[in-house]
């Protein structure tokens, strides 16, 4: 099945003459004046390509503002007519989809609390059958890549091809500077599986506070994400939801001006040549690393056979501790992080135990084939 293999990249359907691609607007549509005025200020920046505003707000606790609902659709349409910028809002039910389609909303988004529920996503997907409207699917609140992919697939299977995956971070228990932890490895894992799928980042909901927005937005761009969603509001401190993370249109521009937008490639001959030279050096180092790992495993095999001959256990706790201590000290001296080198050592240790266990269990006393093969090399 060609699941998600033929999505249409955002640059092919979103009209944009500036970088980065940007979705902005208030967390919630509050009043017609608030939305239209914010939209006008955003339009004046010339940097916003899609206007956002939440009409139906899924709130963590009851008795909070839950959105103005359908009445705000005509305010959003007015803002679009005044500014010429297309509009997007969050949908959580088939009814929301239908009413948005009736009013001419340009792009729909599925929120993190809806993505977690396959029944809800399927209901939305069914309501979208035969409709050509772009859909943004935010990651589920929990760090479950398969659940995110599943939601994207449900929308794709309904016939929607203009799809954006939006990274908005993941909820967690305990302290963090973030409202939702970015866990960058999750959107990074999505990219190689679906190279055509556009991925946006929503720093506002990751950070939950203004002062972190720039660094998270920059990281998203550095990772090659296709665009950003940043909440903005005429008077952020007075916002009816997510007040701490919203910025004024002016602050939005200041933030954008500080962002470094880097290209993913270039035609510049010198650059391409230099890049190839650097890549070849990396290829060579990688080859040497793999040769050295094989050499190390070969010695591990010898060690296993020696322990077996002398009836000694595989796991030598003191030796493992010594390896961790000396290797992390060296790594530290060389500027490598402890976390990185520990990950490497743990993988090495696992493989080494596996090799030695195989040797211990080899009743014939002979050497397993793989070791025979490595023994015969010049390593």
Of positions 21, 41, 112, 160, contacts ligand PEP by CB under 6 A: 112
Residue nearest to Mn ion (CB): 27
Residue 281 Cβ, how far from ligand PEP at the closest point, in Å? 41
Q: Which of residues 166-185 bind ligand PEP (CB under 6 A)?
A: 168
Of all residues in the chain, what percent are helix, strand and coil, respectively (each to 5)? Answer: 55, 10, 35
* Residue 175 to residue 377: CA distance in whole angstroms: 52
Residue 50 contact partner, candidates Mn ion, ligand PEP, none, CB within 5 to 8 A by sort of partner: none
| Residue 205 makes contact with ligand PEP by CB under 6 A | yes
Q: Please tell me the count of residues contacting ligand PEP according to CB under 6 A.
A: 9
| Residue 242 makes contact with Mn ion by CB under 5 A | yes
Q: Which of residues 48-87 bind ligand PEP (CB under 6 A)?
A: 54
Q: Which of residues 12-71 bind Mn ion (CB under 5 A)?
A: 27
* Residue 156 to residue 152: CA distance in whole angstroms: 6
Residue nearest to ligand PEP (CB): 111
Q: Count how many Cα atoms sit within 13 Å of the Cα of residue 177 in the half-sphere of its side chain.
A: 7
- CA 325 vs CA 100, 300, 352: distances in Å: 60, 19, 18
Residue 153 contact partner, candidates ligand PEP, Mn ion, none, CB within 5 to 8 A by sort of partner: none
* Residue 209 to residue 240: CA distance in whole angstroms: 15
| Residue 27 makes contact with ligand PEP by CB under 6 A | yes
Residue 138 contact partner, candidates Mn ion, ligand PEP, none, CB within 5 to 8 A by sort of partner: ligand PEP
| Residue 134 makes contact with ligand PEP by CB under 6 A | no
* Residue 377 to residue 289: CA distance in whole angstroms: 16
Is the dihedral angle over the CA atoms 350, 173, 212, 190 positive or is it negative?
positive
Residue 123 contact partner, candidates ligand PEP, Mn ion, none, CB within 5 to 8 A by sort of partner: none
| Residue 210 makes contact with ligand PEP by CB under 6 A | no
Of positions 72, 111, 208, 236, contacts ligand PEP by CB under 6 A: 111
DSSP H stretches of helix in 165-313: 185-193, 203-207, 213-222, 249-258, 269-309
Phi, psi (deg, nearest 5) at residue 201: -120, 145
- Contact set with Mn ion (CB under 5 A): 27, 242
- Contact set with ligand PEP (CB under 6 A): 27, 54, 111-113, 138, 168, 202, 205
């Amino acid at each position: 099945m060609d699941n998600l293999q033929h999505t249409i990249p955002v640059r092919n359907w979103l009209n944009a003459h500036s970088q980065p691609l940007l979705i902005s607007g208030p967390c919630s549509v509050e009043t017609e004046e608030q939305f239209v005025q914010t939209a006008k200020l955003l339009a004046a920046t010339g940097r916003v390509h899609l206007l956002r505003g939440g009409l139906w707000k899924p709130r963590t606790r009851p008795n909070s503002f839950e959105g103005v609902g359908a009445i705000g659709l005509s305010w959003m349409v007015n803002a679009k007519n005044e500014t010429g910028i297309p509009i997007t809002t969050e949908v959580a039910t088939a009814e929301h989809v239908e009413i948005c389609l009736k009013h001419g909303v340009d792009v729909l988004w599925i929120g993190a609390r809806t993505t977690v529920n396959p029944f809800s996503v399927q209901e939305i997907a069914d309501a979208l059958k035969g409709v050509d409207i772009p859909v943004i699917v935010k990651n589920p609140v929990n760090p479950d890549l398969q659940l995110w992919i599943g939601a994207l697939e449900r929308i794709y299977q309904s016939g929607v091809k203009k799809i954006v995956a939006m990274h908005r971070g993941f909820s967690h228990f305990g302290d963090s500077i973030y409202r939702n932890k970015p866990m960058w490895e999750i959107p990074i894992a999505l990219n190689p599986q679906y190279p055509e799928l556009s991925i946006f980042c929503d720093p506002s909901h990751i950070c939950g506070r203004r002062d972190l927005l720039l660094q998270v937005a920059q990281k998203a761009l550095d990772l090659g994400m296709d665009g950003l969603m940043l909440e903005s509001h005429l008077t952020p401190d007075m916002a009816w939801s997510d007040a701490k993370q919203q910025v004024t249109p002016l602050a939005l521009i200041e933030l954008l001006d500080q962002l470094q937008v880097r290209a993913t490639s270039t035609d510049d001959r010198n650059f391409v040549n230099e890049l190839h030279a650097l890549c070849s050096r990396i290829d060579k180092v990688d080859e040497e690393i793999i040769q050295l790992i094989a050499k190390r495993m070969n010695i591990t095999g010898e060690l296993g056979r020696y322990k077996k001959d002398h009836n000694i256990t595989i796991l030598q706790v003191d030796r493992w501790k010594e390896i961790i201590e000396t290797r992390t000290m060296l790594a530290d001296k060389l500027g490598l992080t402890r976390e990185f080198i520990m990950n490497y050592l743990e993988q090495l240790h696992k493989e080494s135990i596996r090799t030695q266990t195989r040797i211990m269990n080899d009743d014939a006393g002979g050497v397993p084939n793989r070791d025979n093969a490595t023994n015969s090399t010049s390593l």
